[in-house]
Amino acid sequence: MRVAFLMAPVGVEQVELVRPWQAVRDEGWEPRLVSTRAGTVQAYHHLDKADTFPVDDVVADTPADGFDALVLPGGLANPDALRLDEKAVAFTRHFFGAGRPVASICHAAWTLVEADAVRDRTLTSWPSLATDIRNAGGTWVDKKVQVCHAAPGTLITSRKPGDLDAFCAAFVQEFRR
C-alpha cells in the first residue's frame, strides 16, 4: 500500500508527521512525502523549528491515483498553506472522489474544508476549527479520534498530538480494509 503524506514546505507539526509515518512503515506499507515544492519540508515543534524531511513527490507532478490512502499531518501553518494551493486541494479532493481513506489530525482539517470534503461528515480537529467545519456543512465532535464512513470513502480524524496513539491505531485499522 502506498500512502501519501501531503504537506506544505513549512509548518508541519513534526510529531504529527513522524508518528503516523512510523505507523505506516510498521505495517510494511510505503509512505511518500508529497509537497507543493521539491526539496525538503521544515517541521516544527509547535512554533520552534525542528527537523527537515526530504520531499519524495511534488503534488503538481504526482497523480493522486497512484496512492491508496492519504494522511494529512497538522501544524498551524502547514494546512493554511495547503488550502491556498489549488493542486494540493485537488489532490486531497481526489481521494474522496475515488472512495479512498483519508486521515487528518489537528489543523489539517482546514485542507478538508477547502476541498469541500467535510459536508455531511462527522469529524474532529483542533477545537478552534469547529466553527469552520460546521460552516462547511460538517459535524464537529470533541473526541480523541473520529471515524466517519460517509460515502464515498472513510475519513479518520483526530484533535492533537496527545491523541496520536488512538489516531494511528484507527487509521491503520481503516487503511487495512
* Catalytic residue ranges: 106-107
**pLDDT number for residue 151:** 82
**Calpha distance 150→162 (Å, rounded):** 26
CB neighbours of residue 19 within 10 Å: 16
pLDDT by residue, tens only, the chain of 177 residues: 999 999 999 999 999 999 999 999 999 999 999 999 999 999 999 999 999 999 999 999 999 999 999 999 999 999 999 999 999 999 999 999 999 999 999 999 999 999 999 999 999 999 999 999 999 999 999 999 999 999 888 999 999 999 999 999 999 999 998
Q: For each of the domains in the chain, give its residue range(s) and CATH number, in order of start.
A: 2-176 (3.40.50.880)
> Which pTM was predicted?
0.98
